Amino acid sequence: MFNTTNQAITNHDTEALIIGLYEAPKETQTVYETLNDTWNGQLDELVKSGDLSHQYGNISKLHTLGQMPAQRLYVVGLGNRNDLTVHGARQAFGKLFKQLAEDHVHHASLALASLACDNATPYVEAIGEALAMAPYQLETYHTDREEDRVDVTSLTVLTDDDSIIESAQTGYALGNGANVARHLVNLPSNLLTAADLAVFAENIANKHQFEIDVFDREQIEELGMGALLAVNQGSEDPPRFIVMRYQGLETWEAPVALVGKGITFDTGGYSLKGKDGIVGMKMDMGGAASVIGAMDAIGHIKPETNIMALIPATDNMVSHKAFKPDDVIVSMSGKTIEIRNTDAEGRLAMADAVTYAKQQGASKIVDIATLTGGVVVALGDQVTGAMTNNDAWYEELVNAADTEGELIWQLPYYDVFKKQVATSHIADLNNSPGRKAHAVLAGAFVGAFAEDTPWVHLDIAGTAMAESEHDLGPKGPTGAMARTLARTLMNQ
């Protein structure tokens, strides 16, 4: 996928030579000046005419017409050098790689010096992510579908530093992890039952030689996961509880636990969703998808930490066996729960998984779920909602998210909210105290099971899907937070 060469830019033979172009000053444009000399000043003329632009995000394509061995020159406008961020580079190169895919370019070469970076590592990682994510296409089921685009299959970096390849490969692994999550979220629920999700996780585990346990209904009953089982009661498809383990230290102890909501379809149960709200509920396992995507990236990057991925998987269906409002169930922790809303089912499944993490000695927990419509009302579709009981752990995750360009906003986790989820007159907790502060109360419910273990909750109900095509991918599943989770664990 990646290689390097120190060959001179004017002698390098490739399908597509890529350079970045800034506004000014000229000392950052040495690659441009070299090419301009080779073209006898014609590039300057193209800049003057507007056919070649340094405007941020602009992609210019030139046929070299025998002026140099490269067949085509692609120029990425990067704007002002002082304004370019790592995420800005990720998006600009994402736009470029989409263009290369449309042009059926199989191999491209990047003149790294044109980025004029004192520390190229984060920029090359970002470019590796963009190479994986931007040209990615979601699978469809059209019988007449034609493959009209092709991913760039390889990228040569023109540099003397061979170690830069590791950075590119790290970025590509992170981007591909997001693609894994996208693929899973895109699958219709009739093609992705809890059992199917478990098989997919097993394939990822086998690829990277992770340990994996998949618990069936009988084993889940033995574990005492009454909350997960309650959600599954109405279904014809049995539940699964998936446990993946990556050991990055000499001994298995104090793993960081990733908990992903795996509701493969959510009807709302007897608290049935409306005809508009029920469409798209195949994405309700987006948290599980992001966890599996993060684990795929971890398998390539191999950080020095112990990681446990936990996925409670089921659908939430309506039948004569389904759980009902007013039911009281017993969770794995022993806490009793009054059911006031069967459409507040994700937090039930997550509660048992968080309890399992604690029982297995997790040192830190992060749960991720398409949990509430309330977070979409509060934060829209560009920002993930978060809650925590530990500011230091939250800060680690936020730093990783900042690097990845994934936006997070911390929601309050006050005692008043903790008390509200314990207002049942008949049980320890109730799963739906009301519409006010809906997103916060859902997180507070999960937090009641994390107790004192450092915990971060991520609600990706808004960010799991994109309503339109964007620089880093297509319309549809985004793989939200898969890269952030993996990077957080890389930094442990």
Residues labelled catalytic = 273, 347
Question: Using CA atoms, how far apart are residues 458 and 443, in angstroms rounded to an integer?
Answer: 8
Q: Is 402 annotated as a binding residue?
A: no
Q: Is 471 annotated as a binding residue?
A: no
Question: Using CA atoms, how far apart are residues 227 and 328, in angstroms rounded to an integer?
Answer: 10
Question: Using CA atoms, how far apart are residues 414 and 211, in angstroms rounded to an integer?
Answer: 38
Both tokens of 115, joined, read: 């980025």
Task: Pick the closest to residue 103 from 38, 150, 142 (CA basis).
Answer: 150
Q: CB of 229 within 8 A of CB of 313? A: no
Q: Is 261 annotated as a binding residue?
A: yes
**Containing H/E element for 353?**
helix 346-359
Task: Pick the closest to residue 370 from 304, 432, 462, 461 (CA basis).
Answer: 461
Q: CB of 20 within 8 A of CB of 114? A: yes
> What CA dihedral angle connects 277, 280, 284 and 287, to 10 degrees?
-130
Q: Is 452 annotated as a binding residue?
A: no
Both tokens of 85, joined, read: 């961020």
Q: Is 345 annotated as a binding residue?
A: yes
Q: CB of 62 within 8 A of CB of 52? A: yes
Euclidean distance between the first and the last CA atom of the chain, given in angstroms as a whole number: 27
**Residues marked as binding?**
261, 266, 284, 343, 345
Binding residues for Mn(2+): 261, 266, 284, 343, 345
